[in-house]
Amino acid sequence: MNWVLHVANVLNSVLPVRETFGIRRMLANRGGIVVGKETRITHGVKFYDRYITIGNSVWIGMNTVIASTHKGRITIGDNVDIAPCCRIVSGTHDLGGSERRAGTGSGDDVIIGNGTWLGIACCILPGAQIGEGSVVAAGSVVLAGKYPPNAMLAGVPARVKRLLP
């Protein structure tokens, strides 16, 4: 992780909750993350690595972690709402031998479509592609796969429960 993102992560933990959205956007941009206009990054949000693109008018709830890797980019569309304590991760490991099951590091892109709402404490794993206008229910774990637009995803692992109007 570069030093600017490290400083951003530290400051995100001590800056006032809502009054410093512009400072948080600026720090993330300086750290190599593309952050759109009017995006609001709240208290305690942590970014790991710079392979992240965040659209316009996004809300990122407190204590969310967004962890990318050079082997897996994270793209968050416009008008996305991310509730507190979510985890969005693009890095993983290949399965190793019995002496160490977490083998060689790998990753896969994560895409969160425009207008999506991620419920509190959900987890988005490498390779997940969530269609625009979707809702991920609180506490759900979204595995790798392509999910349709306007879908209600819920459960562990998350499944399409219904299509939304």
- Which residues are annotated as catalytic? 93
What token pair was written down for 32?
């190599």
Query: Distance between CA 154 and CA 161 in Å, rounded?
Result: 7
CA angle 51, 36, 69 (to 5 degrees): 10
The torsion of the CA quartet 131, 161, 141, 86, rounded to 10 degrees, works out to: 60
What token pair was written down for 131?
């269609």
Provide the pairing of β-strand 91-95 with 135-136.
unpaired
